[in-house]
Amino acid sequence: MPMVHKFVDGEDSHRWAVRAASWGLLPRFGWNKKEYPELKCELFGREFKNPIGLAAGFDKDGQAITQLAKNSGFGLIEIGSVTPIPQPGNNRPRVFRLLEDEGVINRYGFNSDGVGRVHQRVRSARDAWVPEQYAYFGVNLGKNKLTEDAKLDYEIGVNYFAPHCDYLVLNVSSPNTPGLRSMQKKSDLEKLLAYVKESLDMHKLEKRPQVFLKIAPDLIESEMKDIAQVVTNKKFGVDGIIVSNTTIARPDYLKSENKAETGGLSGAPVREISTECVRKMYKLTNGQIPIIGCGGVFSGEDAYEKIRAGASLVQLYSAFVYEGFPVIGKIKRELSELLKRDGFAHVSEAVGADHRPKQN
Instruction: Write out the catalytic residue numbers.
Output: 174
125 CA to centre of own chain: 20
Dihedrals φ, ψ of 217, to 5°?
-85, 0
| Residues in CB range of 99: below 8 A, 6 or more apart | 5, 256
Query: E strands, 203-352, where?
Result: 210-215, 240-243, 264-267, 291-294, 313-316
Give the chain's end-to-end CA distance (angstroms, integer): 45
Asked if the bond preceding 27 is cis, omega within 30° of 0, the reply is: no
User: Of the candidates 107, 24, 105, which has an alpha carbon nearest to the alpha carbon of residue 66?
Assistant: 24
Yes or no: say if 189 and 227 are a contact pair by the CB < 8 Å rule.
yes
Enter the DSSP assignment of 149. Answer: S
Alpha helices, DSSP H, located in 32-83 = 65-71
Yes or no: say if 276 and 257 are a contact pair by the CB < 8 Å rule.
no
Yes or no: say if 145 and 178 are a contact pair by the CB < 8 Å rule.
yes
Yes or no: say if 268 and 341 are a contact pair by the CB < 8 Å rule.
no
